[in-house]
Chains A and B, each alone.
Chain A
């Protein structure tokens, strides 16, 4: 596709449930980022990949959060045993390595 695609667009989970959020970056983009955006706040960095290598995961809030990009293209952000404080919009962005990030529309996660 022409842009960064994220799915699902909305996800409702019961507390304690595991969720998986998918990101399809722009074809050929080597860099991929995950950000978390709480309501009324700016995006907070979670993790960064260059191709399949996870170069920075300093923003992952706990060991319940896990991200992968096994073939250097599609990425999945997994959250285990979801908690209410995990409710947020999860944004994926990709780039050619030029610092011009292209963002997807995000996945809005609501944990009940």
Chain B
């Protein structure tokens, strides 16, 4: 079945550092790809998405590019802020349904 492998955390960075969280997936066909974020005490929310190969999703300074050849969707941000501290989940969509398969999550802590 479909699966996702996400970089294990926790990740601790200083403010303004560069962030990469790796994500690779196995799936049938070409799924849409998503990153969700869970801030402390809040529900998961969509951060960004990409629906086809070479698409780049972006939001709040975060970016991720759909790499079909490496089945990857790594999340990057050039300069993190304390407010980015959260748990990040990579989630490929499954085939023609809306069902998402979530990674285990990567906890990011950004220190001032």
Contact = CB atoms under 8 A, between A and B. Distances in A.
Asked if A and B bind, the verdict is yes
Interface of A: 3-4, 31, 33, 35, 40-45, 48, 55-56, 91, 93, 95, 97, 99-106
Contacts of A40: 104-105
Given A40-B104, A48-B99, 14 more contacts: A4-B43, A33-B99, A35-B102, A42-B102, A43-B102, A44-B102, A45-B99, A45-B100, A48-B98, A99-B34, A100-B49, A101-B100, A103-B43, A103-B45
Binding site secondary structure of chain B: loop
Interface of B: 6, 32, 34, 36, 41-46, 49, 89, 91, 93, 97-105
A99 B102 CA distance: 13
Contacts of A91: 43-44
A99 B105 contact: no
Give the one of B42, B46, B97, B98 with max A CB within 10 A. Answer: B98
Contact of A106 (B43, B101, B104): B43
A33 B3 CA distance: 18
B79 to A, nearest CB: 26
A35 B100 CA distance: 10
Given A41-B105, A42-B105, A95 B98 contact: yes
